[in-house]
Every structure is written in C-alpha cells, then in structure tokens.
C-alpha cells in the first residue's frame, strides 16, 4: 500500500467531522501523540515530524481509538492512565488494564481505517507491534 497525504487528510477529516474529536497538529513533536479523551471535550495532539504517512495515519488512528474506548465505557480511568504516563509504580491489575487499553485503542483505531477503506498493511501492523512491545516493557518495569 502506498500511503499519502490524501489518506492522512481523510482520517483527519473523519476524526474531526464524524467523531467530533479536535486534532492539534504540532511540528515541534516527533512521533509523540497524546489524547485528552477522558475530558468531555475530546482532543488529540499529534506530532507532525515527517512525511512518513503510514506512521502518522497509524498514530492518529490509535489516538482516536483511545477516544472511542472512552466513549464505549470500556477505557481505564484517567487516574490509572496518569499513573502510567507519569511512570509511577503500577499494581499488577493496573499494568494489565493499561495494556488492555492500548490494545483496544489500536483495535478500534484500525477498525476506523478499515471501515473507511484505508488499508492496514504490514508496515502499520509492525509499527503497532513495536509500540505495544514498548508499552509492555514500560509496564513490566513499573510493576516489578
């Protein structure tokens, strides 16, 4: 699959116009993104660091997935997620919940892509897997 700015802009439009999630694109961030999905006014900050379209699309889909997880009522609490973000020691239960939330965000985000005829190819899956390995290492370190 050859991804382009057109695919990214399509997902950006869907995120804003279909799901009502605000997106702030920041050129001063490199592959850093965050969701403020637990607040009533859902928003995403997305680092626009290069024209690596499949990564940008995957990251935006993932952050949208967090917002959808919150809307579904299945997301972890904001308090639990903040513990993780600030790298405070985690209980085994918190560690499990965080990894479940990250998996759910990828699953929901990729579903949005597929539902809107944006292919999820092997590069996106490898990228997701690498990010999940990073989360797993961090969670393991914090819950040791």
Q: What is the distance, to the nearest Å, from the Cα of residue 64 to the centroid of all Cα atoms in its chain?
A: 6
Determine contact, residues 69/97, Cβ cutoff 8 Å: no
List % helix, strand, coil for the chain (3-state, nearest 5): 60, 10, 30
Beta-carbon neighbour count of residue 75 at 10 Å?
23
| Close Cβ partners of 142 (under 8 Å, ≥ 6 residues apart) | 84, 87, 88, 89, 90, 95
Q: How far apart are CA 41 and CA 105, in angstroms?
A: 18
Q: How far apart are CA 67 and CA 62, in angstroms?
A: 9
Q: What pTM does this model have?
A: 0.91
CA neighbor of 81 nearest in space, from 72, 70, 71: 70
pLDDT digits (tens, 9 = 90+) for 85-127: 888 899 999 999 999 999 999 999 999 999 999 999 999 999 9
pLDDT digits (tens, 9 = 90+) for 22-68: 998 887 766 567 777 776 778 888 887 667 899 999 999 999 999 99
Q: How far apart are CA 56 and CA 3, in angstroms?
A: 10
Domain that holds residue 93: 5-142
Domain total in the chain: 1
pLDDT value, residue 1 = 83
Q: How far apart are CA 115 and CA 144, in angstroms?
A: 39
């Amino acid at each position: 699959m050859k991804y382009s700015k057109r695919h990214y802009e399509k997902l950006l439009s869907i995120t804003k116009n279909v799901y009502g999630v605000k997106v702030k694109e920041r050129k001063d961030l490199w592959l850093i993104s965050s969701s403020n999905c637990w607040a009533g006014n859902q928003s995403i900050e997305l680092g626009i660091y290069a024209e690596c379209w499949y990564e940008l699309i995957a990251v935006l889909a993932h952050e949208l997935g967090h917002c959808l997880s919150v809307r579904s009522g299945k997301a972890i609490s904001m308090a639990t997620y903040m513990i993780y973000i600030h790298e405070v020691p985690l209980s085994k239960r918190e560690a499990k919940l965080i990894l479940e939330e990250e998996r759910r965000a990828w699953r929901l985000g990729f579903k949005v892509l597929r539902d809107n005829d944006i292919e999820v190819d092997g590069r996106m899956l490898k990228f997701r897997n690498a990010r999940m390995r990073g989360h797993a290492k961090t969670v393991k370190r914090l819950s040791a």
